Structure 1
Amino acid sequence: MFLRVYVHNHCMIDLRRVQVLRAVHQHGTVTAAAAALHLTPSAVSHHLRELSRELKVRLIEPQGRRIRLTGAAHVVIEHGDAMVARWERAEAALESYRSGTSGLLRMCGFPSAVAALIAPAAALLRASNPELTIEVSECETPTGFDLLLATDADIAVLAPSEDFPHPGDARFDQRTLLDEPLDLLVPAGHPLVRRTRGGIQGVRLEDTAREEWILAAPGSCDHHQRVVVFCAVAGFTPKVAHYVRDWMAISAMVGAGLGVSLVPRMAPTPPEHAVVRLPLTGEPALTRRILTCVREGSRDHPLIQHGLKALAEAAAAVPERVGITPPG
């Protein structure tokens, strides 16, 4: 972003430096901000000094071996968010004069979203716009937002977590793509499988209260907390016998008869694992929400619109593959 703006009389600032200040605020240290922005710590410090000189205010001050932002810095960040968003909208308006059918579109997301949503969307885009270059990156949620802020990604497909920015965060535009059901994963010979095949309709989460569970370790991912909350609503605390995070590994463990688990509908379960997915009945519906996230002000960019449309088409086609109903 090579834009300079006049803010007062002869005061001129570079929005790149505002981006650097925002990154320091987000990540807490110059070193972490430099890593997220692909800069050196000295370059980050230089941008902060120049921005402070341009604005004639002190932006950082020492706090032990670390630094902290001054009150003036927080004012700059608050108004800088609006300035950057306005420039993103200006770029989108300028780009709207072009065709939007060529160029580079970068999308990122967590593994099962890449497999079930981003890959089909990329195929649709390549078929409809042969001159469009698609770049896909697999990432976890915090990295996805770093990629957006560093302009290393244009669209992120993510599931909300404790690391997610607030919906009102001025830096991002977050919207629901679909609500993905969670299935109960049990061994092929489990009594609940025999019960459903015997004509009894529906399995409820409370039917698993006496089961041993296979879950990710607490704090390793948000799925653990999600399952614990759902089980608490159903009236029990899951007895976790094994701590495994990878979906393929969980599937193998369940197939070996070592416990049960809740898995997202899009997570892979190979047929050789001898497991059965049982849809759950009852309220509330057990789902995880999948969102599209872009930088605030960029959603109307033609390339991003093409990408979001393709993702919506891929999400709408998911019911044919794995039985998910998109919201609305």
Structure 2
Amino acid sequence: MLRVVHQQGTVTAAAEALHLTPSAVSHHMRELARQLKVPLMEPQGRGVRLTPAGHLLIDHADALLARWEEAQAELESYRVGMAGPLRIAGFNTAISGLIAPAAGRLRHSHPDLLVQVRECDTVASMDLLVAGKVEVAVVEPTEGGPPLDDARFEQSPLLEEPYIMLVPADHPLAQAVSVRLEDAAAEDWIVADPGTCDHAQRVRMLCAAAGFSPRIVHAATQWAAVWSLVGNGLGVSLVPRLAEGPAGQAVVRMPVSSENMPTRRILTCVRRGSRRHPLVDLGIRTLEEVVRDHRTMDDWP
């Protein structure tokens, strides 16, 4: 509970995340401080922050929780059968391209296993892991997100996903085998508004690395909207390979030339110490199988 209060910054937000009342959270925090005989929190504006003693306790708690996860994982190996649930969280394209296929495989290979999928962004997935509401999260590194050596998590590379360029079917670039980002420097671009998603920031950074600033004419955050705008000749866009749009749009998916191919890194994330849990291990191995199959598909750049 102290870790969630620290993460959320207010007792009210922590209570909401834990599905408790603020008074219950405050009571438990006072009791914990009384038992340890040191103040753990202090006011900061409208919120709270941890005292030095509170930070020290968090460090020890992370180590204790990791050992507890390891103990659960080893004990679980003695159980017969795998009933679940195995709860997996991930962002939109991770679900459509990776998590849903993995869940489908598990349904056939382990019919008694209950797999539950939840769509949310990386920050929310990490929160769900901390709260014990999911076992596996498929995430992408984000600005302000937890570092790879965060003591609470084990993060492992799953996929280096290439970006592809969407162009209208009658566009001159659609006839090429592959394109460079700078080939579209003079085009109208379709990109999400700044601050709406990490994808918007990433496209701007990739274009800047290619030596130009995209002339953004249209803003869209849903892939179906991006596909429709491109298909109607209103511009080009750069999207992750796993992104999918509605069928029937006059859109060509163009691989970006390998000399400057933009990619994004996708990771699996679990609570530290839980990786050896049989269900967690099964879930991650199945996700890795899906990735290996993607790499053998003809349409994988």
With the length of structure 1 as denominator, give the TM-score of the two structures.
Answer: 0.88
Map residues 100-119 of structure 1 onto 2, 5 A cutoff.
101-119=82-100
Q: Is the 8 A contact 2:207 2:213 kept in 1?
A: yes
Change (3 A) 1:322 1:156: farther
Q: Which residue of 1 aligns with 2:268?
A: 292
Q: 2:156 aligns with which of 138, 155, 175?
A: 175
Q: For residue 322 of structure 1, report the CA deviation from its aligned partner.
A: 6.7
Are 1:257 and 2:233 counterparts? yes
Q: Is the 8 A contact 2:95 2:119 kept in 1?
A: yes
Q: Is the 8 A contact 1:85 1:171 kept in 2?
A: yes
Q: For residue 282 of structure 1, report the CA deviation from its aligned partner.
A: 4.1
Q: 1:93 aligns with which of 74, 83, 98?
A: 74
Q: For residues 67 and 283 of structure 1, what CA distance do their matches in structure 2 show? A: 49
Q: Deviations over 1:78-100 (max 9, x none)?
A: 11111111111111111122235
Change (3 A) 1:84 1:104: same
Q: For residues 142 and 163 of structure 1, what CA distance do their matches in structure 2 show? A: 9
Q: Which residue of 2 aligns with 1:158?
A: 139
Q: Is the 8 A contact 1:100 1:302 kept in 2?
A: no
Map residues 138-149 of structure 1 onto 2, 5 A cutoff.
138-149=119-130
Q: Is the 8 A contact 2:227 2:251 kept in 1?
A: yes
Q: For residues 298 and 34 of structure 2, what CA distance do their matches in structure 1 show? A: 57
Change (3 A) 1:315 1:76: same
Q: For residues 208 and 29 of structure 1, what CA distance do their matches in structure 2 show? A: 46
Q: Which residue of 1 aligns with 2:117?
A: 136
Q: Deviations over 1:288-309 (max 9, x none)?
A: 1111111111010011111111
Q: For residue 242 of structure 1, report the CA deviation from its aligned partner.
A: 0.9
Change (3 A) 1:100 1:160: farther
Q: For residues 31 and 55 of structure 1, what CA distance do their matches in structure 2 show? A: 23
Are 1:60 and 2:36 counterparts? no
Letter matched to residue 31 of structure 2: E
Q: For residue 170 of structure 1, report the CA deviation from its aligned partner.
A: 0.4
Q: Which residue of 1 aligns with 2:216?
A: 240
Q: Is the 8 A contact 1:192 1:203 kept in 2?
A: yes
Are 1:313 and 2:294 counterparts? no
Percent identity of the aligned residues? 56
With the length of structure 2 as denominator, give the TM-score of the two structures.
Answer: 0.96
Change (3 A) 1:64 1:251: closer
Q: For residue 67 of structure 1, report the CA deviation from its aligned partner.
A: 2.4
Are 1:193 and 2:193 counterparts? no
Q: For residue 163 of structure 1, report the CA deviation from its aligned partner.
A: 4.0
Q: Is the 8 A contact 2:165 2:253 kept in 1?
A: yes
Letter matched to residue 89 of structure 1: E
Q: For residues 249 and 284 of structure 1, what CA distance do their matches in structure 2 show? A: 27
Q: For residues 35 and 154 of structure 1, what CA distance do their matches in structure 2 show? A: 20
Q: Which residue of 2 aligns with 1:3?
A: none
Q: For residue 319 of structure 1, report the CA deviation from its aligned partner.
A: 3.0
Q: Deviations over 1:92-111 (max 9, x none)?
A: 11112223522211011112
Q: Secondary structure at the match of 1:262?
A: strand
Q: Is the 8 A contact 1:266 1:322 kept in 2?
A: no
Q: Is the 8 A contact 1:120 1:314 kept in 2?
A: yes
Q: Which residue of 2 aligns with 1:70?
A: 51
Letter matched to residue 215 of structure 1: V
Are 1:302 and 2:283 counterparts? no
Q: Is the 8 A contact 2:155 2:270 kept in 1?
A: yes
Letter matched to residue 5 of structure 2: V
Q: Which 4+ residue blocks in structure 1 deviate beyond 6 angstroms? A: none
Change (3 A) 1:298 1:253: same
Q: For residues 117 and 63 of structure 1, what CA distance do their matches in structure 2 show? A: 41
Map residues 200-239 of structure 1 onto 2, 5 A cutoff.
201-239=177-215
Q: For residues 66 and 298 of structure 2, what CA distance do their matches in structure 1 show? A: 37
Q: Secondary structure at the match of 2:178?
A: coil
Q: For residues 287 and 293 of structure 1, what CA distance do their matches in structure 2 show? A: 19
Q: For residues 218 and 261 of structure 2, what CA distance do their matches in structure 1 show? A: 25
Q: For residue 64 of structure 1, report the CA deviation from its aligned partner.
A: 4.3
Letter matched to residue 216 of structure 1: A
Q: Is the 8 A contact 1:141 1:159 kept in 2?
A: yes
Q: For residues 205 and 43 of structure 2, what CA distance do their matches in structure 1 show? A: 41
Q: Is the 8 A contact 1:59 1:69 kept in 2?
A: yes
